[in-house]
Structure 1
Amino acid sequence: MRDEAFEEVGRQDALGTARRDLLAGGVTVAAAIMLVGLSGPVLSEAVSVIGRDGSDQVLATALILNIALLLFGWRRYADLRREVRERAIAEARVQALASQDPLTGLHNRVAFLAAAAQMIDRARRHGQAAVLVVLDLDHFKTINDVNGHAIGDAALTFVARIIDAHLPPDARAARLGGDEFAVLMTVPAGQTDLAEAFADQLLARLGGQMDTGGAAVHVGASIGLAVIEDQSDTVDALMRRADIAMYASKNAGRHRFSWFDASMERELSTRNALEIGMREGIPLGQFVPFYEQQIDLATGQLHGFEMLARWRHPSRGIVPPDIFIPIAEETGLIADLSMSVMRQAFEEAKSWDPSLTLSVNIAPSQLKDPWLAQKIVKLLVETGFPASRLEVEITESALFENLGVAQSIIGSLKNQGVRIALDDFGTGYSSLSHLRALPFDRIKIDRSFVTSIGSSSESAAIVNAITRLSDSLGLPVTAEGVETPAIERHMRELGCHKAQGWVFGKPMDVGQVRALLAEQNLLPALRGDERGEALRRAVPSEPAALPPVDRLSA
């Protein structure tokens, strides 16, 4: 900042010097003209003398010097005038660059914040309301990645033109950076619906297709609105509230606007507290595996478990995954969390009866990691858990986003003897193509179909079709969400091979699993006294209030 101030002072000094030089040049020219005018008679006499006698060189030299002085003064004056004009243009360009976004021509962040402070003060003096509108483009990174940055820049320019075309009188618009824009407008007190109308106009124009540079792209936006609430509000506070409202629009489904309210800030504070707790809790081992039984419907025997992640929070107790998994994926913590919980599960499961399998669910974001297979195999080697007893579950939606990388990961895991299951079958984009493209060992029917099989004819038809398809492909089926004996009976009649759900028991912690396996004589590594101790130590630890749909795994 200090260097910029010095440069600014230097520019001002240079401009002042040029103007002084211009004034001096003008004075010089005027003096030359006056000199020529006043010495006219003398010069005339000198000319006549020269004409009579060429020996007098003094008067001739004086004449030539006067003419040269006149020409030099005029030339200097013209040069200085051109220099002042060029410097004035350069100064205007520097000022424009300092206050404008070079791509869109809108104000930049610095200029916008300065203008916003003045607008807010003026609105307060006139009893008006100042409303900040923050707009962020939806999936703009995809536009850049798919079409290139030139098309991305064209999209930003297109958005800027739309904002400028609908800008209310006396409003100020800016590109804050990246794909984020802001508009500050003043409205009569109690008429904030005018800001809503402006936001609606923007959404309507940005909801369609934009053709630019030979590429057709869809540009949507999420908008947040915030209004000055009291005399102590600052521009920064208004900007923060509008940003929070904008992210609320994104979380609510995108391409909409939301007004800021205090509950949003409380939710954000809670979310930030959870993120901090997760960053501390993962290395401390607060995230632990829970296990849901998988039953062989033909024999009724325990076949294995699906590993689920739970957070043993020091003050909140058991935190279910639908709260922390989205935060883990958003912040990039999902990989560390998943590997930590998997390591604990592998260490535990290696002592189970060899007939029992362990299923782990891979988050969609993990399939973007080309080294995922190597990381899982490394865990298997370090813990001593047999690869043949591991089943990795991958959702259809994850395959759709990362099919190429998923094929490589699945191939590497299959080469090590790990089995692969297609999870949430029937909810993805191209189920049959995935079944043909990838070597799956099992299909898992999504719980949304299974739980409603008795009340929805459509769900019953879908489950029936999936079981028939799996039979024709030679793939065993596991049904999730078997919550009642009636659903269990129905799935058995359809020929489903395995099932899991609350009808067989709630997810269990390590102590409960050991007690169950000891009771069924499925802990060969335990001696008789250890088996009895496992039974005595088993205590319920999964809260009964957790809903049946609470199943997200790490």
Structure 2
Amino acid sequence: MSVSDDPTMGRAERDLVALGIAVAAIFLFVGTGGMVLPQVVRSWMGLGVAPDPVLVSVLLLNIALVIFGWRRYAELTEEIAVRRRAEELARRLAETDPLTGSLNRRSVRAAADDLLAQAEADGLAVAFVMVDLDNFKSINDLNGHQAGDSLLCVTADRIRAILPRDSLLARLGGDEFACVVPFDPRFPDRIDQFASTLIERVGEPSEHDGLSFEITVSVGITGNVDVSGQRVATNDVLTLIHRADIAMYHAKKQGKNRYFWFEEAMESELRFRSELETGIRRGIPRGEFVPFYEQQIDLDTGEIAGFEMLARWQSPTLGLVGPDVFIPVAEDIGVIAELSENLIDQALAHARDWDPALSLSVNISPIQLRDPWFAQKILKLLVKHNFPPNRLDIEITESCLHDNIGVVRSIITSLKNQGVTISLDDFGTGFSSLAQLRTLPFDRLKIDRSFVSELATEEHSDKLVRAIVSLGDGLDLPITAEGIEDTAILDKLRSMGRLKGQGYFYGRPESIAEVRARLSAAGKLNGLGTVPRPVRDEGTETAADQRKTG
């Protein structure tokens, strides 16, 4: 409640009692003083008798009442003025972000409502522009909150400097800003120009305590008119902010440092994403995520050397879902470690009854290798299932080597010391150096399927694959080739040396029931018998369905 709305303060501001006392006392002073004071003066001059003591007392009482009434009225007036100033300050603090001086989430709605009404009266449209700093958390964590606060202030100042007249700037929280910009609906491209300029200006280097920072921003835009100039169905501020937010997240998904206008399909995609997140969280404890297995073959003999475990989601609503759909979401929402460990737990239980010569390969997410206790978790699972460590092969991608090489080295060493083998997966797609290959104790290199698949066409040379094989020979690292699709690829790989391979030529990934049936028929359960060379499965599963948990 404001001072002006407070009935108590309103009465204090119009305190007629105090004012009436003062005014009445003044009148009484004038009346009484007119009789008493002349008598006092004449008495002092020796020209008359002294005034009546009662009248003198009345005069003194009048003086006291004048002083009291006027002082009381002045104090009340000053108190009200102080309260008004305090209320105005509190209102500004409540409506303004104290760090950047822009509006805050609480106040932007009312301000945007007013701007929408004024723009409509003036025949203008209004765009809502959502701005989010990319990778701000890492800057904050690495350099401290003061550096982060400085960057937020610089960002707000740069946005404010290019805002069109009568626009609003609000910080909604964290590193997210909102701009509300009126514009001529005949020229919506001016908002595109504003967004492009904003990305360019905010991306300029800034400094704090001798440190230089470069930041990018993702921007989402919507408005009460669409890009064709037609009015949209809603004029609600919260709805428009929500749509701009959706467009901003779409910009982040598309690579960041760019802007997008809101489209209805984005909201459907976001809703599907939300359903995926909910389904994944519920599905893990319900056992909906299960391992499938892809054969790994000794190319010389054609015999099964082991299996690579691949994740599948048996969703009650979506059916069998490949990891390319759910793994990125699981990584984003922070459940990838729980999901992966659950799958490894199942896979170790499945593989325990296989022929001891068969290995089990599992892919590890880069996020898991940030956990310094990861090696201990794997070893605990091995003990739980009494599974020989030398039969387990952990596959990590090249990108893992750049996140935290110290932690990765420690984890690899701990696993190696217990007998677990380590393979460098998708070799050739990252930036691993020869020094890393020499110093990190890898046991095997896996050539990425993108290189292997090129062997099927005449126009592509096999020199790159041969170079990787030669590198493996030089480092004494065995090679596995992924993505073997046909006999042409297989024949070329066989000519390069003794390799292992996997791919659709040997069949699609299978459930544990199918694997057990295959191994049982071949006498490969509990270490009995041999298995003949497999034939190609003519299935049509796409390569996207076979993306790994890494």
Structure 2 residues not aligned, in runs of 5+:
225-230
Tell me which residue corresponds to 1:341.
Answer: 343
- In 2: Cα distance, 1:476 partner to 1:525 partner: 24
How does 1:27-426 map onto structure 2 within 5 Å?
39=33, 42-52=36-46, 58=53, 72=68, 75-124=71-120, 127-228=123-224, 229-314=231-316, 316-426=318-428
- Does structure 1 conserve the Cα–Cα contact (< 8 Å) formed by 2:126 and 2:180? yes
- Does structure 2 conserve the Cα–Cα contact (< 8 Å) formed by 1:478 and 1:497? yes
Instruction: Describe the shift of the 1:496–1:198 C-alpha distance in structure 2 as closer, same or farther (beyond 3 A).
Output: farther
Q: CA RMSD in A?
A: 3.4
SS in 1 for 2:102: coil
Q: 2:10 aligns with which of 8, 12, 16?
A: 16
User: 1:161-203: per-residue Cα shift (whole Å, max 9, x none)?
Assistant: 1222222222222111111111222323343222212211211
Instruction: Describe the shift of the 1:520–1:70 C-alpha distance in structure 2 as closer, same or farther (beyond 3 A).
Output: same
- Does structure 1 conserve the Cα–Cα contact (< 8 Å) formed by 2:390 and 2:419? yes
Instruction: Describe the shift of the 1:80–1:272 C-alpha distance in structure 2 as closer, same or farther (beyond 3 A).
Output: closer
Q: 2:454 aligns with which of 448, 452, 455?
A: 452
Higher mean C-alpha deviation, range 42-51 or range 84-93: 42-51
Tell me which residue corresponds to 2:228.
Answer: none
- Does structure 1 conserve the Cα–Cα contact (< 8 Å) formed by 2:160 and 2:169? yes
- In 2: Cα distance, 1:391 partner to 1:244 partner: 41
Deviation at 1:402, TM superposition (A): 3.0
SS in 2 for 1:309: strand
Deviation at 1:307, TM superposition (A): 0.9
SS in 2 for 1:264: helix
- Does structure 2 conserve the Cα–Cα contact (< 8 Å) formed by 1:25 and 1:80? no
Tell me which residue corresponds to 1:476.
Answer: 478
- Does structure 2 conserve the Cα–Cα contact (< 8 Å) formed by 1:449 and 1:459? no
Instruction: Describe the shift of the 1:231–1:325 C-alpha distance in structure 2 as closer, same or farther (beyond 3 A).
Output: closer
Name the amino acid aligned to 2:353: S
- Does structure 1 conserve the Cα–Cα contact (< 8 Å) formed by 2:296 and 2:501? yes
Name the amino acid aligned to 2:199: L
- In 2: Cα distance, 1:72 partner to 1:213 partner: 59
- In 1: Cα distance, 2:358 partner to 2:462 partner: 30
Name the amino acid aligned to 1:407: R
User: 1:371-426: per-residue Cα shift (whole Å, max 9, x none)?
Assistant: 32232222222223221100111122123213333233323322322111222233
Higher mean C-alpha deviation, range 512-521 or range 153-162: 512-521
Deviation at 1:453, TM superposition (A): 5.2
- Does structure 1 conserve the Cα–Cα contact (< 8 Å) formed by 2:136 and 2:175? yes
Structure 1 residues not aligned, in runs of 5+:
none
Instruction: Describe the shift of the 1:253–1:43 C-alpha distance in structure 2 as closer, same or farther (beyond 3 A).
Output: same
Instruction: Describe the shift of the 1:101–1:401 C-alpha distance in structure 2 as closer, same or farther (beyond 3 A).
Output: same
- In 1: Cα distance, 2:545 partner to 2:429 partner: 16
Count residues with an aligned counterpart. Answer: 539
Tell me which residue corresponds to 2:546.
Answer: 550
Tell me which residue corresponds to 2:227.
Answer: none
Q: 2:442 aligns with which of 440, 443, 452?
A: 440
SS in 2 for 1:364: coil
- Normalising to structure 2: TM-score of the pair? 0.87
User: 1:24-60: per-residue Cα shift (whole Å, max 9, x none)?
Assistant: 6666666666665563574243133135399879376
User: 1:423-465: per-residue Cα shift (whole Å, max 9, x none)?
Assistant: 2233334433433553222222323333335769998555444
- Does structure 1 conserve the Cα–Cα contact (< 8 Å) formed by 2:353 and 2:525? yes
- In 1: Cα distance, 2:261 partner to 2:115 partner: 20
Deviation at 1:88, TM superposition (A): 1.6
Instruction: Describe the shift of the 1:42–1:370 C-alpha distance in structure 2 as closer, same or farther (beyond 3 A).
Output: same
Instruction: Describe the shift of the 1:44–1:458 C-alpha distance in structure 2 as closer, same or farther (beyond 3 A).
Output: farther
Identity %: 47
Instruction: Describe the shift of the 1:458–1:211 C-alpha distance in structure 2 as closer, same or farther (beyond 3 A).
Output: farther
SS in 2 for 1:503: helix
SS in 2 for 1:275: helix
Higher mean C-alpha deviation, range 129-138 or range 180-189: 180-189
- In 1: Cα distance, 2:41 partner to 2:442 partner: 112
- Does structure 1 conserve the Cα–Cα contact (< 8 Å) formed by 2:355 and 2:528? no
- In 2: Cα distance, 1:10 partner to 1:365 partner: 57
- Does structure 2 conserve the Cα–Cα contact (< 8 Å) formed by 1:424 and 1:444? yes
Deviation at 1:498, TM superposition (A): 2.2
- In 1: Cα distance, 2:287 partner to 2:367 partner: 22
Deviation at 1:240, TM superposition (A): 2.0
Higher mean C-alpha deviation, range 469-478 or range 179-188: 469-478
- In 1: Cα distance, 2:233 partner to 2:487 partner: 63
- In 2: Cα distance, 1:493 partner to 1:131 partner: 63
- In 2: Cα distance, 1:218 partner to 1:146 partner: 14
- Does structure 2 conserve the Cα–Cα contact (< 8 Å) formed by 1:223 and 1:257? yes
- Does structure 2 conserve the Cα–Cα contact (< 8 Å) formed by 1:351 and 1:524? yes
Name the amino acid aligned to 1:269: R
User: 1:480-504: per-residue Cα shift (whole Å, max 9, x none)?
Assistant: 2233434334444444632222333
Deviation at 1:98, TM superposition (A): 2.0
Instruction: Describe the shift of the 1:548–1:168 C-alpha distance in structure 2 as closer, same or farther (beyond 3 A).
Output: closer
